[in-house]
A and B are shown apart, each in its own frame.
Chain A
Amino acid sequence: MLLLPCPHCGLRDEPEFSFGGEPAIRPVPASTVDDATWADYVYLRQNEKGAHREIWCHSGGCGQWFVLTRDTVTHAVIAP
Chain B
Amino acid sequence: MRLSTGGRIDRSTPLAFTWDGRAMTGYAGDSIASALLANGVKIVARSFKYHRPRGIWGAWVDEPNAVVDVVWQGQHDPNARATLVPLRDGMAVRGVNAFPSVSFDLFGAIDAFSQFLPAGFYYKTFKWPNWQHYEPRIRAMAGLGRVGHQRDTRAYETRHAKCDLLIVGGGPAGLAALRAAAAGGLSVMLADDQPALGGSLLTDTAEIDGTDGLAWVAAVARQGQVLSGTTVFGAYDDGSYGLLEARNHAPAGWGQARLWVVRAAKVIFATGAIERPLVFPDNDRPGIMSADAVRRFLRGQAVLPGRSVVVATNNDSAYATAHALQEAGASVVVADARAVPGAIADGLRVLPGTVPLGTGGRRGVSWVDLGPQDGARRERMPVDLLAVSGGWSPAVHLFSQGGGALRWDIERVAFVPEGGATVAGSITGATDLPTCLAQGHAAGLAAAGGGDLGAPYSPPAPAAGAVLPLWQIGTSRRRQWVDLQNDVTAKDVGLAAAEGYRSVEHLKRYTTLGMATDQGKTSNVNGLALLAAATGRSIAEVGTTKFRPPFTPVPLAALAGSRFDRLVAPLRELPVHHDHLALGAEMRDYGGWARPACYQQIGEPVAAAIAREADNARARLGVFDGSSLGKIEVHGPDAAAFLNLIYYNEVANLRPGRLRYCLVLRETGVVFDDGVVGRLAADRYLLSPSSSHTAGVLAMLQAWHQLEYPAMQVAFHDVTAAWATFAVSGPRARALMQQLGSSVDVSDAGLPHMAVADGSVQGVTCRIARVSFTGDASYEISVPTGYATALWRHLLDLGAPLGMMPYGIEALSVLRAEKGYILIGTDTDGMTLPVDLGLDGPLRAKQVDFVGKRSLMTPDAKRADRRQFVGLLPEDANAVPAVGSHAVAGPREARRSLGWVTSACMSPVLKRSIALGMIEGGRARLGETVELFHLGKISRATICAPVFVDPAGERLHG
Contact = CB atoms under 8 A, between A and B. Distances in A.
Interface of A: 1-3, 13-14, 18, 20, 23, 26, 28-31, 33, 35, 38-39, 41-43, 55, 57, 59, 63-65, 74-75
A31 B699 contact: no
Given A57-B699, A65-B707, A30 B854 contact: yes
B729 interface: no
Interface string B666-699: 0110000000000000000000000000000001
B439 to A, nearest CB: 27
A1 B703 contact: no
B854 A63 contact: no
B262 to A, nearest CB: 10
Given A2-B238, A33-B854, A63 B849 contact: no
Given A26-B708, A30-B854, A65-B703, A1 B849 contact: no
Given A2-B237, A42-B667, A57-B699, A31 B857 contact: yes
Contacts of A28: 849
Contacts of B855: 38, 42
Contacts of A31: 849, 853-854, 857
Contacts of B236: 1
B285 interface: no
Nearest to B853: A30
Given A20-B703, A30-B849, A65-B703, A38 B854 contact: yes
A55 B699 CA distance: 14
Contacts of A63: 702
Contacts of B403: 74
Interface string B853-867: 111011100000000
Contacts, number: 55
Nearest to A55: B707
A1 B857 contact: no
5 contacts: A1-B236, A3-B238, A28-B849, A42-B668, A42-B855
Nearest to A20: B703
Contacts of B261: 1
Among B239, B849, B854, B855, residue most surrounded by chain A Cβ atoms (within 10 Å): B854
Interface of B: 236-240, 261, 263, 403, 667-668, 699, 702-703, 706-708, 849, 853-855, 857-859
Nearest to B854: A30
A63 B702 CA distance: 8
A31 B240 CA distance: 47
B702 A13 contact: no
Contacts of B708: 26
Given A1-B261, A30-B849, A75-B237, A64 B706 contact: yes
Contacts of B699: 18, 57, 59
A55 B708 CA distance: 13
A20 B667 CA distance: 14
Nearest to A35: B858
Contacts of B668: 42-43
A18 B240 CA distance: 19
A59 B240 CA distance: 21
Given A3-B238, A3-B263, A42-B667, A35 B859 contact: yes
B666 to A, nearest CB: 9
Contact of A57 (B238, B239, B703, B857): B703
Contact of B858 (A1, A3, A38): A38
B26 to A, nearest CB: 40
Contacts of A55: 707
B259 to A, nearest CB: 13
Contacts of B702: 57, 63, 65
A1 B868 CA distance: 45
Contacts of A35: 858-859
For the complex of A and B, 7 pairs with smallest distance between CB atoms: A30-B854, A3-B238, A1-B240, A65-B706, A2-B237, A75-B237, A38-B854
A19 B702 CA distance: 14
Given A1-B237, A23-B707, A42-B668, 19 more contacts: A1-B238, A1-B261, A2-B237, A3-B237, A3-B239, A3-B263, A18-B699, A20-B703, A26-B708, A30-B854, A31-B854, A35-B858, A38-B858, A57-B702, A57-B703, A59-B699, A63-B702, A65-B702, A75-B238
A9 B261 CA distance: 21
